[in-house]
Amino acid sequence: MSHDLTLRVYYEDTDLAGIVYYANYLKYIERGRSEWLRALGIDQQAMHRDSGHVFAVRRIEADYLRPARFDDLLTVSTELAQASPARLRVDQQVQRDGQLLFAARVTIACLDRQGRAVRLPAVLRTAIDG
């Protein structure tokens, strides 16, 4: 399942030239992953409260291709690339009017309350297996 999130670039997201600061793309794709999980029916707060499961980024491979600018309307796309028993790998893109600005492959690990890698919760496995 893929998911799209639309967001606007605000002045606070940019440098003096009006170009989005590079680290903000990581924030944008974090929001995209959170909304993707929500669209799958995953309540991360309830999951943490009930079972102690949380997600942590293990690896990001990112390509900055073109700049986004103040007031741009962006689309953050998130799509599952691969699932293993304790990890998800997702492909994410940030686009403006169909033009690719940023692309990333993100590996997310599932952790328990002690920070140890654990299997993905059954509810998530069911959601992604569709």
Range of the domain at 28: 2-129
Determine the pLDDT at residue 130.
73
Which H or E element spans position 90?
strand 87-96
* Contact present, 124 and 55 (Cβ < 8 Å): no
How many Å apart are CA 72 and CA 1, to the nearest integer? 26
Residue 36, C-beta contacts closer than 8 angstroms, at least 6 positions apart: 1, 2, 3, 5, 78, 90
The 10s digit of each residue's pLDDT in 19-76 is 999 999 999 999 999 999 999 999 999 999 999 999 999 999 999 999 999 999 999 9
Q: What is the pLDDT of residue 15?
A: 95
Catalytic residue among 15, 63, 71, 112: 15
Confidence of residue 1 (pLDDT cuts 50, 70, 90): confident
Annotated catalytic residue 15:
yes
Residue 60 belongs to domain with CATH number: 3.10.129.10
**Number of domains making up the chain:** 1
Does pLDDT of 129 surpass 90?
no
**Against a cut of 0.85, is the pTM above it?**
yes
Handedness of CA 26, 32, 36, 39 (dihedral sign): positive
